[in-house]
Amino acid sequence: MRRMDLHSTYPGIMDLKWRAKRRLPKFVWEYLDSGTGVEATKARNRAALDQVGFLPSILHGPLEYDLATEFLGTRYDLPFGVAPVGMSGLIWPDAEGHLARTAAAANIPYCLSTVASQSPEDLAPHIGPQAWFQLYPPKDEAIRKDLLDRARDAGFQTLVLTVDVPVASRRERQIRSGLTQPPKLTPRLLAQVAMRPAWALGMARAGMPHMRTLDKYTQGIANLPPTAHIGYILRTSPTADYVKWLRDHWQGPFIVKGVSRAKDAERLEHLGVDAIWVSNHAGRQFDGAPATAETLPAVRAATRLPLVFDSGVEGGLDILRALALGADFVMLGRAFHFGLAALGAAGPEHVIDVLRKDMEANMGQLGARTLHDLPPIRGLPPPSIQM
């Protein structure tokens, strides 16, 4: 299908989402789309972004848009990238490969998860200087050193430490769906697979995915809770000393992901990190958190460091909202995986094109030629917790 045809049929991320739901087995859809608890945090992420408005501006004449930005010393053609998602290969075969190649071609970041279904070595031929590696913090120092060496040797230049997963969340929708880690095709799940032939054919060719990065560290480990995975056995809840250790051992940009409190941002700045990723894990870890759009302004006021934003982003207007609230860069996870599930290898490129066109259409309403021209926001509710 030609690109213009794709825009006629799938003009927005929501169109890709609903096609993805129709093409994925239920247990895979629940893995991708679910939050935790009653999904109140997931809903708050969306509702808070919807509260962020701009006053349209007129009499600017035709505009030529420049969406390029510099972040941590690298120039990107767009102010957004691909967030890490564990076990992407469960969504679509060679998901990480498709995402890495598309991001490299578009000159945007792709962030590989520690618990992805492909390893840093698998992706080494497909990445460029825009590749980031997300680290779930290993308890064992030898494993920690080895993971850093492997990421560096594969060509990943930016390290992202995730700090907001001290314990496994429950993710009740996933439990109800019958999904376990690693995935096991029980008769119940096979019945779901039989109803999704495109996904089933792809998986028959590629084989069921697993967390390849962790293979060398996980011999003899078994009997995990259904929503936990092998990474939970290896990881720890990091401390300030842990962050210092990583800062000393990683020679390159270092981002800490999963920050909501302004005081934590101040502390991380003193520890020497290069950027802070404001996130509530898209509502997948803790259902009592405020929306990321609510916490971002206070974090912005507390630190001079560059800020990354995620959680709840569903289009180009949301990217502009996050930038206007104080973010320097925006990352999306679900949106790119909706694209993969909906359109296969063509999906990630179409997602990028949809987001770009949506940004430009809304910048035209605001009279903003560049990202620096965005006007002040209107309508953000006050934070719902003490920062």
Q: Which two tokens stand for residue 130?
A: 């825009």
281 classed as catalytic:
yes
Q: Could you give the CA distance from residue 230 to residue 224 in angstroms, rounded to a whole number?
A: 7
Q: Could you give the CA distance from residue 142 to residue 217 in angstroms, rounded to a whole number?
A: 10
Q: Could you give the CA distance from residue 83 to residue 253 in angstroms, rounded to a whole number?
A: 16
- Residues 62 and 364 sit within 8 Å (Cβ to Cβ): no
Number of H helices, E strands in the chain: 17, 12
Residue in 281, 337, 350, 372 annotated catalytic: 281
Q: Where are the beta strands (DSSP E) in the chain?
A: 53-54, 69-71, 74-76, 80-82, 110-113, 131-135, 158-162, 254-259, 275-278, 307-309, 329-332, 377-378
DSSP string, 137-191: -BSSHHHHHHHHHHHHHHT--EEEEE-S-SS----HHHHHHT--SS----HHHHH
Distance from chain centroid for Cα 106: 17
β-strand partners of 378 = 53
Q: Could you give the CA distance from residue 115 to residue 103 in angstroms, rounded to a whole number?
A: 19
Distance from chain centroid for Cα 319: 13
How would you classify residue 301: left for phi > 0, otherwise alpha for psi between -120 and 50, otherwise beta? alpha
Phi and psi at 341, nearest 5°, equal -65, -35
Q: Could you give the CA distance from residue 87 to residue 104 in angstroms, rounded to a whole number?
A: 20
Q: How far lies 263's CA from each of 55, 166, 267, in Å?
A: 32, 19, 6
Q: Mind telling me the catalytic residues? A: 281
